[in-house]
Amino acid sequence: MTANQRTEALPIGAPAFSLERLGVVMSPLAGEPAEALGVLNPATARRGAEVYLFPRLVAEGNYSRIGRARVIFDAAGIPVDVERLGIVLEPQEAWELHTGGGGVEDPRITYMPRLGRWIMTYVAYGPFGPRIGLAASSDLERWDRPRAGLVRLRSGAGGRPEPVPQQGRDLLPGAGNGSEREARLCHASPADLGSLPGPTRRG
């Protein structure tokens, strides 16, 4: 019997698997400023035999970073602790920063074999509130924000938003300092985009 056949044989509404709570494997580290308000809502990823957590680390002022920790298992294969491996992503782009601070939060990670990379989506908490961010890694250690460009929207048929074709490389003004940064993937509503200055082009 195949896995699909086993699933199909389950009564309607019956769970395909069960969960068992095994305890807490990661708590805020006493005296660590980056974890002052908590460690929570982690993504998880596996590389070979190793399992990693990518928790949201919350500092004072609700300033959030994304950390990395290796899960430690006991002899019975039960996760019992973590080894902290530092911070992999912190607020630095215009859409991740606001006047009160900023945040990169609540990651989700999946491996894409065709790309040979892990892709992380996360919440970027910047001047427009929470938006969708994107990062990619080939080793789960170094994460880059892909240069996907800023998506501009306009009202299309039936009032539905549609992307505005762009040529060249758009720039997004930096956060409050008048500098300009290369735009990367960002989720924005038409109202958001209407409040931004027009794009500056590079040839």
Q: What is the pLDDT of residues 91-114, one digit of tens each?
A: 998 889 988 889 999 999 999 998
Give how far Cα 118 sits from Cα of 30, 58, 139, 157, Å.
31, 23, 8, 36
- Those residues whose C-beta lies under 8 Å from the C-beta of residue 22, and which sit 6 or more positions away, are 78, 79
Instruction: Report the chain (203 residues): mean pLDDT per 10 consecutive residues.
Output: 50 79 94 97 96 97 96 95 97 88 95 92 90 92 76 59 51 34 41 40 31
> What's the burial of 85, exposed, middle or buried (CB within 10 Å: 0-12/13-18/19+)?
middle
Q: Rounded distance, CA 55 to CA 73, Å?
A: 18
Q: What is the pLDDT of residue 165?
A: 58
Beta strand 101-112 with 97-98 is antiparallel
Closest listed residue to residue 68, CA positions, set 56, 80, 76: 56
Closest listed residue to residue 23, CA positions, set 102, 66, 67, 81: 81
Q: What is the pLDDT of residue 178?
A: 36
User: pTM for the full model?
Assistant: 0.69
Residues in the chain: 203
Q: What is the pLDDT of residue 19?
A: 86
* DSSP conformational letter for 9: H
- The per-residue pLDDT for range 151-179, each reduced to its tens digit, is 555 566 666 555 565 544 333 333 333 33
Q: What is the pLDDT of residue 151?
A: 53
Q: What is the pLDDT of residue 163?
A: 58
Q: What is the pLDDT of residue 176?
A: 32
Q: Rounded distance, CA 3 to CA 16, Å?
A: 10
> What's the burial of 56, exposed, middle or buried (CB within 10 Å: 0-12/13-18/19+)?
buried
Q: What is the pLDDT of residue 18?
A: 86
Q: Rounded distance, CA 197 to CA 203, Å?
A: 19
